[in-house]
Amino acid sequence: MGAAGNGELRVVMLGAPGCGKGTQAERLAAAYGIPAISTGEMLRAAVAAGSELGRKVQSVMAQGALVDDELMAEVVRERLAHGDAARGFLLDGYPRTAAQAGTLEEVIRDAGKSLDHVLYLDVPEDVLVERALGRGRADDTAAVVRERLRVYRDSTEPLVEHYRHRGLLRTVRGDQSVDAVAAELQRVIDGKGSGQAETVR
Ligand code: AMP
């Protein structure tokens, strides 16, 4: 299973909005029997439920901006403490900033565990825009899509280098069929492929 070889698997899915990391996280979750945890889904559920968290994040999300790091730290700490995440998880949409990466490292270290892989789905920008607009989610107007991509470039893309330095980055081309990407990700996790660790576009 994971690099640790103890049947546990802790993974961060990294990539731009629309790169397919949500779809792939769900597939990998089913294959490895660990939860796919999407912070975007959690926040959308909070908004739909009209909870206190939902009321706090609603307008920020509608603009395509990022919810603040402290609030996200609470959300993620609480979620990763659930029993279903004890043997591992696939995080989709977290971390998105350097501060969030620091929080995640802390949470995992406090549990006496370590991160196995950061799976980076690399997709050209024009494909991302096309996919995002085709997806038809309520917050996906053209202006919001562009804003989400800008925020990604500014705040989240630097995490690619952060994790490359830590030897955790595995790069897979995301502009292939869902099945091809899934197969490649599984090879990486199973230690039969390295991903293109040093691919630079
Ligand atoms: P996603 O479904 O991952 O694209 O997330 C949808 C929206 O939820 C984002 O555009 C942000 O407004 C918010 N969000 C989700 N995850 C995070 C995070 N880790 N940090 C800040 N905001 C987030």
- For the segment 122-161, what is each residue's pLDDT rounded down to a tens digit? 999 888 877 777 765 555 677 888 888 999 999 999 999 9
Determine the pLDDT at residue 140: 62
The rounded Å distance from CA 9 to ligand 1 centre is 23
Determine the pLDDT at residue 201: 37
200 has a pLDDT exceeding 60: no
Closest CA to 101 of 40, 37, 12, 10: 12
Cβ 197 vs Cβ 147: under 8 Å: no
- pTM of the model as a whole: 0.91
Q: Please compute, for residue 182, the number of CA atoms within 13 A of its CA located in the half-sphere on the CB side.
A: 14
Nearest CA to ligand 1 atom 15: 40
Cβ 163 vs Cβ 8: under 8 Å: no
Determine the pLDDT at residue 195: 65
Residue with tokens 């309520």: 138
* Residue ranges lining ligand 1, Cβ < 6 Å: 17, 39-40, 43, 60-61, 64-67, 72, 93-94, 96, 100, 148
Cβ 110 vs Cβ 73: under 8 Å: no
The rounded Å distance from CA 137 to ligand 1 centre is 13
The rounded Å distance from CA 54 to ligand 1 centre is 12
Determine the pLDDT at residue 198: 43
